Structure 1
Amino acid sequence: MGRLTDGEGPVREVDVSAFWIDPQVVTTRQFAEFIESTGYRTEAETFRLTASRDGCWDSAGRSGLTT
């Protein structure tokens, strides 16, 4: 199973910069309510990556690929 070139090589150590994380669990519903009440836009909503748009799936369908 797998190949040497699949990028799944041995585990290696990496440095991760310090970050904050909330000690409280926040459900998807709670987060959605927060978004609705504040109008907050997540980073994902403000970052435009055109390659991930539906147009890619349209062209995939024309080439005979299925999802």
Structure 2
Amino acid sequence: MENNLFQQAKNAVTNFMNAQGNTNASQTDQQAAQNAIQEAYNQASPEEKQQLQQLEQQLKQRNQLS
């Protein structure tokens, strides 16, 4: 069964990255993506946890660039 929270986390990060590319995404958008990752992590499979860690790294790297 697909982890819905995992998919929501992926979508939140993608939305944040896209918003930041077009305009300045707000701190709230970044926090929402981070929160979605944390929520998904609790129910994630080992493979999903690895992907969530990668998404979190992308957020951190993007934050350092802005």
TM category, shorter: under 0.3
TM-score, with length taken from structure 1: 0.21
Larger radius of gyration: 1
Greater helix share, structure number: 2
Tell which has more relative contact order, 1 or 2 (C-alpha 8 A, sep 6+): 2
TM-score, with length taken from structure 2: 0.22
